[in-house]
Protein backbone atom coordinates (compact mmCIF):
# COMPACT_ATOMS: atom_id res chain seq x y z
CA UNK A 1 0.00 0.00 0.00
CA UNK A 2 1.45 3.39 -0.88
CA UNK A 3 1.12 6.41 1.38
CA UNK A 4 -1.05 8.05 -1.30
CA UNK A 5 -3.78 5.51 -0.58
CA UNK A 6 -4.03 6.35 3.10
CA UNK A 7 -6.77 8.60 4.45
CA UNK A 8 -7.67 10.15 7.77
CA UNK A 9 -6.42 8.84 11.13
CA UNK A 10 -8.88 6.38 12.62
CA UNK A 11 -9.50 5.89 16.35
CA UNK A 12 -7.29 3.34 18.09
CA UNK A 13 -9.06 0.38 19.71
CA UNK A 14 -10.23 0.90 23.26
CA UNK A 15 -11.30 -1.86 25.68
CA UNK A 16 -15.01 -2.55 25.25
CA UNK A 17 -16.74 -4.76 27.78
CA UNK A 18 -19.87 -4.62 25.61
CA UNK A 19 -18.09 -5.96 22.55
CA UNK A 20 -16.35 -8.67 24.56
CA UNK A 21 -19.62 -9.75 26.16
CA UNK A 22 -21.26 -9.97 22.75
CA UNK A 23 -18.41 -11.95 21.19
CA UNK A 24 -18.43 -14.32 24.18
CA UNK A 25 -21.97 -15.46 23.36
CA UNK A 26 -22.06 -14.96 19.61
CA UNK A 27 -23.72 -17.88 17.90
CA UNK A 28 -25.09 -18.58 14.46
CA UNK A 29 -28.82 -18.97 14.05
CA UNK A 30 -30.47 -22.06 12.57
CA UNK A 31 -31.35 -20.58 9.16
CA UNK A 32 -34.78 -22.24 8.97
CA UNK A 33 -35.73 -20.67 12.32
CA UNK A 34 -35.08 -17.10 11.17
CA UNK A 35 -38.25 -15.02 10.92
CA UNK A 36 -39.26 -11.43 10.35
CA UNK A 37 -39.03 -8.60 10.78
CA UNK A 38 -35.89 -8.44 8.68
CA UNK A 39 -33.67 -5.41 8.28
CA UNK A 40 -34.98 -2.33 6.48
CA UNK A 41 -33.27 -1.27 3.23
CA UNK A 42 -31.26 1.31 5.20
CA UNK A 43 -30.20 -1.36 7.70
CA UNK A 44 -29.25 -3.73 4.89
CA UNK A 45 -27.08 -0.99 3.44
CA UNK A 46 -25.41 -0.52 6.81
CA UNK A 47 -24.83 -4.28 7.24
CA UNK A 48 -23.21 -4.43 3.79
CA UNK A 49 -21.08 -1.36 4.45
CA UNK A 50 -19.83 -2.76 7.78
CA UNK A 51 -19.36 -6.24 6.31
CA UNK A 52 -17.27 -4.94 3.43
CA UNK A 53 -14.91 -3.27 5.88
CA UNK A 54 -12.77 -6.39 5.79
CA UNK A 55 -9.06 -7.02 5.29
CA UNK A 56 -7.95 -8.08 1.82
CA UNK A 57 -4.44 -8.32 0.47
CA UNK A 58 -3.93 -5.98 -2.47
CA UNK A 59 -7.15 -3.96 -2.13
CA UNK A 60 -8.77 -6.20 -4.72
CA UNK A 61 -12.08 -6.48 -2.86
CA UNK A 62 -12.37 -9.98 -4.34
CA UNK A 63 -16.02 -10.58 -3.52
CA UNK A 64 -19.46 -9.33 -4.45
CA UNK A 65 -22.89 -9.42 -2.81
CA UNK A 66 -26.33 -10.37 -4.09
CA UNK A 67 -29.06 -9.11 -1.75
CA UNK A 68 -31.91 -11.58 -2.03
CA UNK A 69 -35.41 -10.78 -0.85
CA UNK A 70 -38.16 -13.35 -0.35
CA UNK A 71 -39.38 -13.35 -3.96
CA UNK A 72 -36.07 -14.10 -5.64
CA UNK A 73 -35.35 -16.88 -3.14
CA UNK A 74 -38.79 -18.46 -3.60
CA UNK A 75 -38.17 -18.48 -7.37
CA UNK A 76 -34.68 -19.84 -6.85
CA UNK A 77 -35.89 -22.63 -4.56
CA UNK A 78 -38.53 -23.61 -7.15
CA UNK A 79 -35.86 -23.74 -9.86
CA UNK A 80 -33.54 -25.75 -7.59
CA UNK A 81 -36.18 -28.38 -6.76
CA UNK A 82 -35.59 -30.52 -9.89
CA UNK A 83 -31.85 -30.36 -9.24
CA UNK A 84 -32.39 -31.59 -5.66
CA UNK A 85 -33.66 -34.89 -7.08
CA UNK A 86 -30.24 -35.50 -8.62
CA UNK A 87 -28.30 -35.04 -5.36
CA UNK A 88 -26.93 -37.99 -3.37
CA UNK A 89 -29.73 -37.61 -0.79
CA UNK A 90 -32.67 -36.05 -2.67
CA UNK A 91 -34.92 -35.93 0.40
CA UNK A 92 -32.36 -33.98 2.40
CA UNK A 93 -31.49 -31.80 -0.59
CA UNK A 94 -35.17 -30.83 -0.92
CA UNK A 95 -35.55 -30.28 2.83
CA UNK A 96 -32.63 -27.87 3.15
CA UNK A 97 -34.25 -25.57 0.58
CA UNK A 98 -36.37 -24.29 3.50
CA UNK A 99 -33.18 -22.70 4.87
CA UNK A 100 -33.10 -20.68 1.67
CA UNK A 101 -36.70 -19.53 1.77
CA UNK A 102 -37.47 -19.06 5.49
CA UNK A 103 -35.26 -16.07 6.43
CA UNK A 104 -36.50 -12.56 5.64
CA UNK A 105 -33.16 -11.59 4.09
CA UNK A 106 -30.27 -13.47 2.51
CA UNK A 107 -27.02 -12.03 1.27
CA UNK A 108 -25.20 -14.22 -1.20
CA UNK A 109 -21.46 -13.62 -0.93
CA UNK A 110 -19.59 -14.57 -4.09
CA UNK A 111 -15.82 -14.97 -4.06
CA UNK A 112 -14.42 -13.32 -7.20
CA UNK A 113 -10.68 -14.09 -7.11
CA UNK A 114 -8.38 -12.58 -9.73
CA UNK A 115 -6.31 -15.40 -11.28
CA UNK A 116 -2.64 -14.76 -12.02
CA UNK A 117 -2.41 -11.83 -9.62
CA UNK A 118 0.55 -11.58 -7.26
CA UNK A 119 -1.89 -12.00 -4.38
CA UNK A 120 -2.57 -15.76 -4.25
CA UNK A 121 -6.13 -16.88 -5.00
CA UNK A 122 -6.22 -18.58 -1.57
CA UNK A 123 -5.71 -15.23 0.15
CA UNK A 124 -8.43 -13.65 -1.95
CA UNK A 125 -10.79 -16.48 -0.98
CA UNK A 126 -9.89 -16.02 2.68
CA UNK A 127 -10.96 -12.40 2.35
CA UNK A 128 -14.36 -13.55 1.06
CA UNK A 129 -14.68 -15.78 4.14
CA UNK A 130 -13.75 -12.86 6.36
CA UNK A 131 -16.48 -10.78 4.70
CA UNK A 132 -19.01 -13.49 5.56
CA UNK A 133 -18.01 -13.42 9.22
CA UNK A 134 -18.03 -9.63 9.26
CA UNK A 135 -21.53 -9.56 7.77
CA UNK A 136 -22.67 -11.83 10.61
CA UNK A 137 -21.10 -9.49 13.15
CA UNK A 138 -22.69 -6.48 11.44
CA UNK A 139 -26.13 -8.11 11.44
CA UNK A 140 -25.70 -8.95 15.14
CA UNK A 141 -24.65 -5.37 15.86
CA UNK A 142 -27.95 -4.17 14.39
CA UNK A 143 -29.87 -6.63 16.55
CA UNK A 144 -30.41 -9.44 14.04
CA UNK A 145 -29.48 -13.10 14.20
CA UNK A 146 -27.53 -14.49 11.26
CA UNK A 147 -26.50 -17.76 9.71
CA UNK A 148 -23.63 -18.47 7.28
CA UNK A 149 -24.31 -21.55 5.20
CA UNK A 150 -23.54 -22.98 1.80
CA UNK A 151 -25.50 -26.22 1.13
CA UNK A 152 -25.43 -28.34 -2.02
CA UNK A 153 -26.59 -25.61 -4.41
CA UNK A 154 -23.37 -23.70 -3.71
CA UNK A 155 -21.46 -26.48 -5.49
CA UNK A 156 -23.82 -27.95 -8.10
CA UNK A 157 -22.79 -26.51 -11.52
CA UNK A 158 -26.39 -26.06 -12.73
CA UNK A 159 -27.41 -24.48 -9.43
CA UNK A 160 -24.47 -22.09 -9.71
CA UNK A 161 -25.73 -21.05 -13.15
CA UNK A 162 -29.14 -20.31 -11.62
CA UNK A 163 -27.41 -18.24 -8.93
CA UNK A 164 -25.53 -16.27 -11.59
CA UNK A 165 -22.16 -17.42 -10.26
CA UNK A 166 -19.70 -17.24 -13.16
CA UNK A 167 -16.75 -19.45 -14.10
CA UNK A 168 -13.88 -18.74 -11.71
CA UNK A 169 -16.23 -17.51 -8.97
CA UNK A 170 -17.34 -19.49 -5.90
CA UNK A 171 -20.11 -19.15 -3.37
CA UNK A 172 -18.45 -18.07 -0.13
CA UNK A 173 -21.77 -18.37 1.61
CA UNK A 174 -25.33 -17.27 2.08
CA UNK A 175 -25.65 -14.96 5.06
CA UNK A 176 -29.23 -15.37 6.21
CA UNK A 177 -30.51 -12.63 8.49
CA UNK A 178 -33.60 -12.27 10.65
CA UNK A 179 -35.02 -12.66 14.15
CA UNK A 180 -35.06 -15.73 16.39
CA UNK A 181 -38.05 -16.57 18.60
CA UNK A 182 -35.92 -18.85 20.80
CA UNK A 183 -32.34 -18.24 21.95
CA UNK A 184 -29.80 -20.44 20.16
CA UNK A 185 -28.23 -23.28 22.13
CA UNK A 186 -24.50 -23.39 22.77
CA UNK A 187 -22.50 -25.96 20.81
CA UNK A 188 -19.15 -27.62 21.57
CA UNK A 189 -16.22 -25.22 21.39
CA UNK A 190 -12.60 -26.20 20.81
CA UNK A 191 -10.33 -27.21 23.66
CA UNK A 192 -7.97 -24.27 23.38
CA UNK A 193 -5.12 -26.28 24.94
CA UNK A 194 -5.28 -28.51 21.85
CA UNK A 195 -5.37 -25.59 19.45
CA UNK A 196 -2.79 -23.16 20.76
CA UNK A 197 0.97 -23.31 21.03
CA UNK A 198 2.60 -20.50 23.02
CA UNK A 199 6.14 -19.56 22.11
CA UNK A 200 8.34 -17.18 24.05
C1 LIG B 1 -18.23 -21.96 5.15
C2 LIG B 1 -19.38 -22.50 5.96
C3 LIG B 1 -20.34 -23.26 5.35
C4 LIG B 1 -21.43 -23.77 6.06
N5 LIG B 1 -22.37 -24.52 5.43
C6 LIG B 1 -23.40 -25.02 6.12
C7 LIG B 1 -24.37 -25.83 5.46
O8 LIG B 1 -24.28 -26.09 4.28
N9 LIG B 1 -25.41 -26.29 6.19
C10 LIG B 1 -25.53 -26.00 7.54
O11 LIG B 1 -26.50 -26.44 8.16
N12 LIG B 1 -24.63 -25.23 8.17
C13 LIG B 1 -23.58 -24.75 7.50
N14 LIG B 1 -22.64 -23.95 8.13
C15 LIG B 1 -22.89 -23.55 9.56
C16 LIG B 1 -22.27 -24.51 10.53
O17 LIG B 1 -22.79 -25.79 10.35
C18 LIG B 1 -22.57 -24.05 11.96
O19 LIG B 1 -23.92 -23.80 12.12
C20 LIG B 1 -21.83 -22.82 12.33
O21 LIG B 1 -20.48 -22.93 11.98
C22 LIG B 1 -22.00 -22.56 13.82
O23 LIG B 1 -21.05 -21.60 14.24
P24 LIG B 1 -21.22 -20.77 15.57
O25 LIG B 1 -21.85 -21.66 16.58
O26 LIG B 1 -19.86 -20.35 15.95
O27 LIG B 1 -22.07 -19.62 15.23
C28 LIG B 1 -21.54 -23.47 7.44
C29 LIG B 1 -20.55 -22.68 8.07
C30 LIG B 1 -19.48 -22.21 7.34
C31 LIG B 1 -18.44 -21.37 8.04
Please say if the pLDDT value at position 8 is more than 80: yes
Which of 22, 26, 28 should be mutated for ligand 1, with most atoms under 8 A from CB?
Answer: 28
Q: How many CB atoms lie within 10 A of CB 53?
A: 10
pLDDT reported for residue 2: 59
Could you report the per-residue pLDDT of 125-139, keeping only the tens digit for each? 999 999 999 999 999
The answer to whether residue 3 scores a pLDDT higher than 60 is: no
What is the overall mean pLDDT for the chain? 97
pLDDT band at residue 70 under the 50/70/90 scheme: very high
Please state the pTM of the whole predicted model. 0.97
Residue 4's pLDDT is 65
Cis ω before 37 (30° cut-off from 0): yes
Ligand 1 atom with minimal separation from the 99 CA: 11
Report residue 111: phi and psi, to 5°: -80, 125
Q: How many angstroms separate the alpha carbon of residue 9 from the centre of ligand 1?
A: 36
- Residue with the smallest CA separation from ligand 1 atom 3 is 149
Specify the pLDDT at position 5.
83
**Domain coordinates in residue numbering, the chain:** 48-104+114-181
What's 48-104+114-181's CATH class? alpha beta
Amino acid sequence: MSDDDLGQALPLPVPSAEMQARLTVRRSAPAQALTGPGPSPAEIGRILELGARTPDHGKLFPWRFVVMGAQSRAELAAALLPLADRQADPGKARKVLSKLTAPPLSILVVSTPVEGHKVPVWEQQLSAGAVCMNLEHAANALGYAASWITDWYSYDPQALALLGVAEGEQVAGFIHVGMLAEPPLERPRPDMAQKVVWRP
